[in-house]
Amino acid sequence: MLALFIVLNRTEYLKDVLKAVEDMGLSCTVIDSISANQYINFYSPNTFASYNVPVVVGSMSMADDDSGIIYNKTLIMLVEDEEKAQQAMETVESVVGDMARPGTGIMFYVPVVKAVGK
């Protein structure tokens, strides 16, 4: 079993990617995410955000704020084998285009030693 991670910077493709992997019989978890570089730059000592302003849960999903932060979506799914992982990656690229293009995102998979639950 493998865990496939897709960090999608081009979030306008999210619904189409979710539909495409669902059509493959896969389900996934979607997490709002931000790159460490974006986070560090936004929370530097010279910004308003560094003054212990509370963050409201769920606010990361508002990608069109005025902060200048670029949010992305991280998709995580379990797949049976490497062939299925490769198929899923090809399916994602058929939707978003070449993931090697800067600013598009990244995909990778890693072995899962043990998984419990559904």
Beta bridge partner(s), residue 111 = 2
> 90 by DSSP, 3-state: which?
helix
Q: What are the chain's domains?
A: 2-111 (3.30.70.120)
pLDDT in tens, 57-86: 444 444 445 566 778 999 999 999 999 999
Average pLDDT rounded to a whole number, residues 54-58: 46
- pLDDT above 50 for 96: yes
- pLDDT above 70 for 118: yes
- pLDDT above 50 for 1: yes
- pLDDT above 70 for 15: yes
- Which stretches within the chain are classed as H helix? 14-23, 36-42, 82-96
pLDDT in tens, 101-110: 998 999 999 9
Query: Residue 11: which residues within 8 A CB-CB, separation 6 or more?
Result: 63, 71, 72, 73
Tokens of residue 102, six digits: 């800067």
